[in-house]
């Protein structure tokens, strides 16, 4: 099903010194399924996060924000599938907190040093007792080389685990990066959430980490869309265990800071794109690139209007070069002073529209040829300025409707 | 296919004194299909219009705006299906203008007194020669009682013609109202556009008519959404032939003004709702009502977020009370200071969510019972203020994907 996505390459999933991952079956929603993951950090690890902007954010997201704000060193992540613990009110907070307390008790730390993550059914009570009962098994499983197991355990309707890594050298010291992620948008009838966890043994100033996390999210997870439905639980965590043998990076403008950011961004983008490639029912991977805007913001506005249009998405599914739909989406994207006679449109290398009208050399069969590819770039030139941006998305297929219309079972 | 929509009742389609409609087959895209309509007005008729906000608006929309702005009395509307004349650049304008000129020549009026409307394929040249060649036949067909024929001739993928009427009395004088409309959103792979034409023989001050048209559109056509794709050609026209035997209405606050507006709005709402009922693949008609907002604008924002969510729409298609999806849409609607603990949610009479969490009395089977209905009201209480608004929409089904993914043929 997934578009040009393979199973992770285990050789690329580098252990991160100071970080262990443990997985077990807690029976949260179904039996015989890995659904609980702990990620444990040595003392001295720095953690930063970026969370959903959804105002109906889930209880675990609320706790993550609070626990990070206390400034106490985070020592563990606790991740469950099968239940999103969203729309669950005060009881949901208490249940999430009780799982943090139980894990903290076993580790001899404070509950504030644990961050909880949930993905699954909305509006159902979190079976926190089952999570607590399974903690010992998860802890017993914890090892530095369990990235692939963790990538599998956080899956919901993902058809493949998503995990990538990279190695670079900073001041001659080897630095490793490994990340895992799960499913885009609000995936299944009951499953919600994108989760991304990216870790490195690089030494990064704790003060710098939140800024770095935001910049990475902006360049990766915040540039993908499947159905435009922002989940209640989306979370992206950046972890630096500070074990590598190089001086601490305290600026993203330094040579070392730039090198690390570039490598981290590369892994984050692979993870984000993997989510789109494995989106529900996706048959095509589409890059929507908008150039020539007055601002990056208006380029994004146009890119999202195109990416969210059900008509554009069904046309891609059908391999139908029905490109007027793209023009229409550009037109309603919300740029009030847009001049349609300034617009050009390319589909891969095919020049479809010039100055707002059909290009004289455009032939339907050229559009048709591109539309049949599994990876397509839509390029819109606004003719207003020098800003540009891009979004990764997929098509809208019968399978999307089937998957999302299936009764929860 | 259509949800609780019947064929128009001919007895309700009142002739409007001073207005005639003629229809013919111009062979614009296919043979043997009524695809060209003229609507002719007597001298003294007032016309006002509301057009798409899409910046990629079609050539006919551009001409409509210009012709209305000249202030010359509009004497004719010229409507074709089969081609939207959008994304066609300067040539598209010239072709649309040539059809206006040809009709004006036959009627002894100026081209500026003709308004053109097109719906159909985007980015294809308008076959204006075929339209011009068919004008005589359309004019020969023009009669006061041809409303149903016109409703049929403006259809594209609509499964039923849409036409409603009303009669009221103003200062003891009988007043008639009749309107027709076609297809919501961007209907078919190649078909675009909502068109609505509403006419009355009431006497309305020409200065008042644009304001009345805007208010009617706001309360009807601007409250519906199928797929969130704003067409390049959407147009709503309000026509007053000023033939009725009552003093001219020059205020919407007068008793007569209110009575007329209420009656016109009733017909406009029936037309708008008929478009949703006959939307591509629709199996359910859904009213999304948002109350307790700080402003009408934020209520609409939330209502549209719910109405546009593919996840909410597929849940309705599946009759699945997966109501967390509605909460999630409320959360990402863009109200930055929304407090989720103030939110209540009802599905028809069933109280699903209270203060942001599942209502203690809510049972899945109650939600299930409501979801199986063909007409459902989603009611969200924001708990912030006294403002409210509502939007009409439909579900997202396999047929929507099939219809929109079919190759153009």
Shortest CB distance from A87 goes to which of B314, B335, B357? B357
Q: What is the pLDDT of residue B366?
A: 95
Alpha-carbon span A79 to A72, nearest angstrom: 19
Q: How far is CA A312 from the centre of its chain?
A: 23
Dist. CA B289–CA B266, nearest whole Å: 18
Q: Which of A180-194, B35-49, B287-301 is the least confident region?
A: A180-194
> Is B193 an active-site residue?
yes
Query: Taking a contact as any Cβ pair under 8 Å apart, which residues of chain A between 148 and 167 contact chain B?
Result: none
Q: What is the CATH number of the domain that holds B312?
A: 3.10.20.340
Establish if B311 belongs to a structural domain: yes
Angle at which helices A310-317 and A296-308 pack, to 10 degrees?
A: 60
Q: What is the pLDDT of residue B334?
A: 86
- Count CB atoms within 10 A of the CB of residue A63: 23
pLDDT confidence of residue A320: 85
Beta strands A195-200; A235-240: pairing state: parallel
The answer on B231 and B312 residing in a single domain is: no
3-state secondary structure of B225: coil
Instruction: Please indicate, yes or no, if residue B95 is contained in any of the structural domains.
Output: yes
Chain A contacts of B185, Cβ < 8 Å?
311
How far the first Cα of chain B sits from its last, in Å, is: 21
Closest CA to A356 of A375, A334, A330: A330
Catalytic residue among B193, B200, B225, B232: B193
Both B251 and B344 in a single domain? no
State the virtual CA torsion across A295, A300, A302, A307 in degrees, nearest 10. 170
CB contact under 8 Å between B328 and A57, yes or no, is no
pLDDT greater than 50 at residue B289: yes
A122/B324 touch (CB, cutoff 8 Å), yes or no: yes
Place of tokens 């998957």: A403
Beta-carbon separation of A56 and B397 below 8 A? no
Highest mean pLDDT among A84-88, A186-190, B204-208, B332-336: B204-208
Question: What pLDDT is recorded for position A190?
Answer: 34
Residues of B in Cβ contact (< 8 Å) with A230: 328, 331-332
CB A388 within 8 A of CB A293: yes
Q: Is residue A5 part of a domain?
A: no
**pLDDT tens by residue, B111-120:** 999 999 999 8
A154 and A25 share a domain? Answer: yes
Q: Provide the sign of the torsion angle of the four alpha carbons B63, B65, B71, B72, taken in this order.
A: positive
Show the CA angle centred on residue B321, arms to residues B319 and B327, nearest 5°: 130
Q: Tell me the C-alpha distance between B139 and A338, whole Å.
A: 38
C-beta neighbour count of A77 within 10 angstroms: 27
Q: Confirm whether A166 is domain-assigned.
A: yes
Buried b (16+ CB within 10 A) or exposed e, A258-279: ebbbebbbbbbbbbbbbbbbbb
In a domain, B5, yes or no: no
Is A409 near chain B, with CB under 8 Å?
A: no
Q: Do B175 and B91 belong to one domain?
A: yes
Say which of B317, B330, B407 has its CB closest to residue A56. Answer: B330
- Which member of B84, B230, B315 has the closest CB to residue A332? B230
- Cα–Cα distance, B110 to B128 (Å, whole number): 18
Residue A2 lies in a domain: no
Q: Judge whether A3 lies within some domain.
A: no
Task: Note whether A183 and A215 are same-domain residues.
Answer: yes
A197 and A69 together in one domain? yes
pLDDT exceeds cutoff 60 at B187:
no
User: Cα–Cα distance between B138 and B103 in angstroms, integer?
Assistant: 10
- Where does the pLDDT of residue B190 fall: very low under 50, low under 70, confident under 90, or very high at 90 and above? very low
* Residue A25 sits in the same domain as residue A164: yes
pTM (two decimals)? 0.82
Tell me, yes or no, if A397 comes closer than 8 A to chain B by beta carbon: yes
Mean pLDDT comparison of A180-184, B327-331, B405-409, highest-scoring range: B327-331
Chain B residue numbers touching A329 (CB-CB < 8 A): 229
Query: For residue A14, what pLDDT is reported?
Result: 96
B residues 34..53 contacting A (CB < 8 A): 53
CB contact under 8 A, A189 and B310: no
- Classify residue A4: in a domain, yes or no: no
Please judge whether A332 and B122 are an interchain contact, meaning their C-beta atoms are less than 8 angstroms apart.
no
pLDDT at B191 over 50: no
Number of domains in chain A: 2
Catalytic residue among A178, A193, A283, A393: A193
Residue B391 and residue B243 in one domain: no
Give, in order, the Cα–Cα distances in Å from B98 to each of B36, B59, B101, B126: 15, 12, 5, 11
Mutation for B interface: A328, A336, A342, A406, most B CBs within 10 A: A328
Whether residue B137 is found in the same domain as residue B189: yes
Is B314 in CB contact (< 8 Å) with chain A? yes
pLDDT for B1: 66
B72 and B15, same structural domain? yes
Residues of A in contact with B82 (CB under 8 A): none
What pLDDT, on a 0 to 100 scale, did the predictor assign at position A308?
Answer: 86
Instruction: List strand residue ranges (DSSP E) for B25-84, in order.
Output: 36-41, 46-51, 76-83
The pLDDT averaged over each successive group of 10 residues in chain A (409 residues) is: 89 96 96 96 95 86 95 94 90 97 98 95 92 98 97 91 95 95 56 79 95 92 76 87 96 96 95 87 93 96 90 89 87 90 95 92 94 96 96 86 63
Structural domain span for residue A371: 285-405
A176-180, B149-153, B245-249, B312-316, range with the lowest pLDDT: B312-316
Q: Is the pLDDT of residue B386 over 90?
A: yes
CB contact at 8 A, A325 and A341: no
Query: What's the rounded Cα separation, in Å, for the pair B328 and B330?
Result: 5
Burial category of A307 from C-beta neighbours within 10 Å (exposed 0-12, middle 13-18, buried 19 and up): buried
**Strands laid side by side in the A76-83 sheet:** A19-24, A36-41, A76-83, A114-121
Write down which residue in A242, A259, A277 finishes a domain. Answer: A277
pLDDT of residue A193: 63
Contact B188, B404 (CB under 8 A): yes
Write down the pLDDT at residue B13: 96
Considering the domain architecture, whether residues A145 and A199 belong to the same structural domain is answered as yes
Establish if B400 touches chain A: CB-CB under 8 angstroms: yes
Chain B: nearest CA to A145, how far in angstroms? 36
- Tell me the sheet residues that pair with B174: B169
Alpha-carbon gap, residue A400 to A397, rounded angstroms: 5
CB–CB contact B123 A88 (8 Å): no
User: What is the reported pLDDT for A1?
Assistant: 66
Of A227, A259, A277, which residue constitutes the final position of a domain?
A: A277
Together in a domain, B249 and B395: no
Q: What is the DSSP string of A191-214?
A: ----EEEEEE-S-B-TTTHHHHHH
Residues B407, A355: C-beta atoms closer than 8 Å: no
Mark residue B115 as left, alpha or beta (left: phi above 0; alpha: psi -120 to 50; beta: remaining): beta
Measured N-to-C along each axis, helices B89-107 and B128-140 cross at an angle, to the nearest 10 degrees, of 30
CATH of the domain at A154: 3.60.70.12
CA A364 to chain centre: 36
**The pLDDT of residue A225:** 76
Distance of alpha carbon B158 from its chain centroid, rounded? 13
* A161-to-A11, A147, A157, B100 alpha-carbon distances in Å: 15, 10, 10, 60
Report, in angstroms and rounded to the nearest whole number, the Rg of chain A calculated over CA atoms: 22
């Amino acid at each position: 099903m997934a578009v040009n996505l393979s199973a992770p390459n285990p050789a690329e999933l580098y252990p991160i010194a100071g970080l262990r991952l443990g997985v077990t079956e807690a029976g949260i929603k179904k039996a015989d399924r890995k659904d609980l993951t702990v990620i444990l950090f040595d003392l001295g690890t720095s953690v930063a996060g970026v969370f959903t902007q959804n105002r109906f954010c889930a209880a675990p997201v609320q706790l993550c924000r609070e626990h990070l704000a206390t400034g106490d060193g985070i020592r563990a992540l606790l991740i469950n599938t099968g239940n999103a613990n969203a729309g669950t009110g005060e009881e949901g907070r208490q249940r999430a907190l009780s799982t943090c307390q139980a894990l903290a008790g076993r580790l001899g730390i404070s509950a504030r040093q644990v961050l909880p993550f949930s993905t699954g059914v909305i509006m159902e009570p979190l079976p926190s007792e089952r999570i607590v009962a399974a903690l010992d098994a998860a802890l017993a499983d914890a090892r530095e080389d369990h990235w692939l197991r963790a990538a599998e355990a956080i899956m919901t309707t993902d058809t493949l685990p998503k995990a990538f890594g990279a190695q670079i050298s900073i001041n001659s010291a080897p630095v490793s990066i490994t990340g895992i992620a799960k499913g885009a948008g609000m995936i299944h009838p009951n499953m919600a959430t994108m989760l991304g966890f990216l870790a490195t043994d690089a030494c990064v100033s704790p003060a710098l980490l939140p800024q770095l996390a935001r910049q990475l999210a902006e360049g990766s997870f915040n540039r993908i869309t499947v159905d435009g439905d922002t989940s209640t639980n989306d979370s992206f965590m950046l972890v630096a265990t500070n074990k590598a043998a190089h001086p601490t990076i305290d600026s993203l403008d330094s040579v070392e800071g730039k090198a690390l950011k570039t490598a981290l961004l590369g892994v984050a983008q692979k993870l984000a794109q993997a989510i789109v490639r494995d989106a529900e029912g996706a048959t095509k991977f589409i890059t929507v690139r908008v150039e020539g805007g007055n601002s990056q913001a208006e380029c994004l506005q146009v890119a999202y209007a195109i990416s969210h249009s059900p008509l554009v998405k069904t046309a891609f599914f059908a391999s139908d070069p029905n490109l007027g739909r793209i023009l229409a989406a550009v037109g309603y994207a919300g740029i009030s002073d847009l001049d349609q006679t300034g617009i050009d449109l390319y589909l891969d290398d095919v020049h479809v529209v010039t100055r707002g009208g059909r290009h004289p050399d455009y032939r339907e069969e050229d559009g048709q040829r591109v539309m049949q590819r599994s990876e397509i770039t839509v390029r819109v030139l606004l003719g207003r300025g020098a800003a540009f941006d891009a979004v990764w998305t997929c098509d809208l297929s019968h399978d999307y409707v089937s998957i999302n219309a299936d009764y929860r079972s």
